[in-house]
Amino acid sequence: MSRTYEFTMQLSAEKTRSIYQGQARFLLVYTDDGTKLQLPAQNFRSYVSSDGINGRFSVETDNNNKILQLYKLS
């Protein structure tokens, strides 16, 4: 059984530099329902822009909390 979480992320370009360069291993996010998730930073590399990482995201996990899907909603 999978579970889906939604959250908003707003990281500056300076803070996302470590993600893009592979130095940051994990990002800690709080979902809309207050759940704290530690997600692999590498999953966000495709969402890094010159402004950083900004927007609404959805992540689907399996029973073992492995990411099945991560995508940007807006």
Range of the domain at 39: 3-72
User: Which CATH number characterizes residue 63's domain?
Assistant: 2.40.50
How many angstroms separate the Cα of 62 from the Cα of each of 23, 52, 66, 68, 72?
26, 28, 5, 7, 19
pLDDT tens for the 74 residues of the chain, in order: 899 999 999 999 988 888 778 788 999 999 999 999 999 998 998 998 999 999 999 999 999 989 999 999 98
The total number of structural domains in the chain stands at: 1
pTM assigned to the model: 0.87
pLDDT of residue 72: 97
Q: Count Cβ atoms below 10 Å from residue 27 Cβ, excluding itself.
A: 19
pLDDT of residue 71: 94
